[in-house]
Amino acid sequence: MKSLPAAWQAGALSAVKNIIMKTELDLNTLLYWYEQMWTIRYFEDNAIGSFRKGLFTGSTHPCIGQEAIAVGAGAALRETDQVLATYRGHGHAIAKKLDVKRLMAELLCKETGCSGGRGGSMHLCDVSKGFWGTNAVVAAHIPIAGGVALSNKLKKNGRVTAVFFGDGSTCEGAFFETLNMAVLWKVPLVLVCENNGFAISVPTHMAIPIENIAQRAQGFGLPGVTVDGNDPVPVYNAVSEAADRARRGEGPTLVECKTTRWERHSAISAGKYENEEEAMKWKKVDPIPRFTKALLEKGATEFQLKELQERAKKVNDEAMEFALKSEYPKPETVGDFVFA
């Protein structure tokens, strides 16, 4: 039986506590992250619930259990930086401050959705917020992010592009080709791998013959670092350093965040997992209670945390209501937006 990833073995929690205690970040910033993590969690709960109720078809790919990465990395980026993500990218959209109402409306394929109800759960986008969209072909967005980063370099605009992808993506050619080109041309790109242990159902140990995906960076000549992805602080620290490096013109960095995926690959995935019991054990490292504990130790009150959690829920309740009330795009607009 494959054991839990090294990051989650005995002592992981105390290590997390140490990092939080050491951080320079003020409590208000950390409380904002806490609220964002709950906003994402409630959004995903609503996404799954809506799908099961038949409010939209297709599928949805929740990031429950992975919220700390979106929040920590999002905080390390500037408003003008660009983010590209995968279909499991609802969290990244929220961390990039997209309107939760328009996100939920997009899931429900309504015309008020952030992509006009054409994209759905896997194609969220708001260019005005620097969120250049989520993509449904594994790893295909990685070279696109490389191109966006190259445009920053050519325009000398000081922006950094961050691209999020899963462990499965790092087996694709597009990933390897991008690493090579991004280092060669020193583009301001931050590659964030969310290693959640599974590519649909295939566990990483059956797909990737090395312990840490960050090791892949070495052969391509870029720094690679592995962090605990179920704590926003180390993610923030690593992505901040990578973004600084990119902004200094030193090129890309690969940040591997070890994390856990609670739900199946997507809401329609029905197959049996190699080790169902093992997958469930990963709930023990839920980033929210861990972060809650650390915040309480840092001086937050139970009341404060409860209030933030409730606010996150309210935002999502309102988003749900907005989405439900919105109209579907008119049939006669089906041909809009093909060509410019």
Partner 1 sequence: MAEAINEAIRHEMRRDPNIILLGQDIGAYGGTFGVYKGLLDEFGPERVRDGPLCEAATAGFGVGLAISGMPTLVEIEFMDFMTLASDAMCNQAAKMRYFFGGQVRVPMIIRTPIVNRLGLGAQHSQSLEAWLMHVPGLRVIIPSNAFDAKGLMIAAIRDGNPTVFIEHVRLYPNKAPVEEADEPIPLGKLRVSREGKDATIATYSGMVKPCLDAAANLAREGIECEVLDLRTLAPLDCEGICASVRKTGRLVVAHESVKTAGAGAEIAQTAMEGAFDYLQAPILRVASKDLPIPTGKLQDVVFPSAVDVEEAVRKVME
Residues lying near partner 1 in the complex (CB under 8 A): 113-119, 123, 125-127, 132-133, 135, 137, 140-152, 154-155, 173-174, 177-178, 180-181, 184-185, 336-340
Of 149 and 285, the one with the shorter C-beta distance to partner 1 is: 149
Of 138 and 225, the one with the shorter C-beta distance to partner 1 is: 138
Of 43 and 131, the one with the shorter C-beta distance to partner 1 is: 131
Tell me the closest approach of the beta carbon of residue 245 to partner 1, in angstroms. 20
Tokens of 228: 């605990």
Tell me the closest approach of the beta carbon of residue 148 to partner 1, in angstroms. 4
Tell me the closest approach of the beta carbon of residue 165 to partner 1, in angstroms. 13
Of 189 and 243, the one with the shorter C-beta distance to partner 1 is: 189
The burial class, CB within 10 Å (0-12 / 13-18 / 19+), for 176 is: middle
Distance between CA atoms of 287 and 8, rounded to whole angstroms? 12
Of 270 and 340, the one with the shorter C-beta distance to partner 1 is: 340
**Type of residue at 192:** V
Distance between CA atoms of 118 and 127, rounded to whole angstroms? 15
**Type of residue at 293:** K
CA-derived radius of gyration, the chain: 19
Tell me the closest approach of the beta carbon of residue 194 to partner 1, in angstroms. 20
Distance between CA atoms of 244 and 321, rounded to whole angstroms? 40
Tell me the closest approach of the beta carbon of residue 128 to partner 1, in angstroms. 8
Phi and psi, residue 99, nearest 5°: -70, 120
Of 66 and 178, the one with the shorter C-beta distance to partner 1 is: 178
**Residue corresponding to tokens 């690959």:** 265
Secondary structure of residue 254 in the 3-state scheme:
strand
**Residue corresponding to tokens 């500037």:** 78
Tell me the closest approach of the beta carbon of residue 172 to partner 1, in angstroms. 9
- Cα 213–chain centre separation: 17
Of 303 and 339, the one with the shorter C-beta distance to partner 1 is: 339
Maximal C-alpha separation, the chain: 59
Distance between CA atoms of 159 and 161, rounded to whole angstroms? 7
| CA nearest neighbour of 291 among 13, 7, 4 | 13
Tell me the closest approach of the beta carbon of residue 262 to partner 1, in angstroms. 27
Tell me the closest approach of the beta carbon of residue 332 to partner 1, in angstroms. 15
Of 129 and 298, the one with the shorter C-beta distance to partner 1 is: 129
Distance between CA atoms of 22 and 17, rounded to whole angstroms? 9
The burial class, CB within 10 Å (0-12 / 13-18 / 19+), for 301 is: exposed
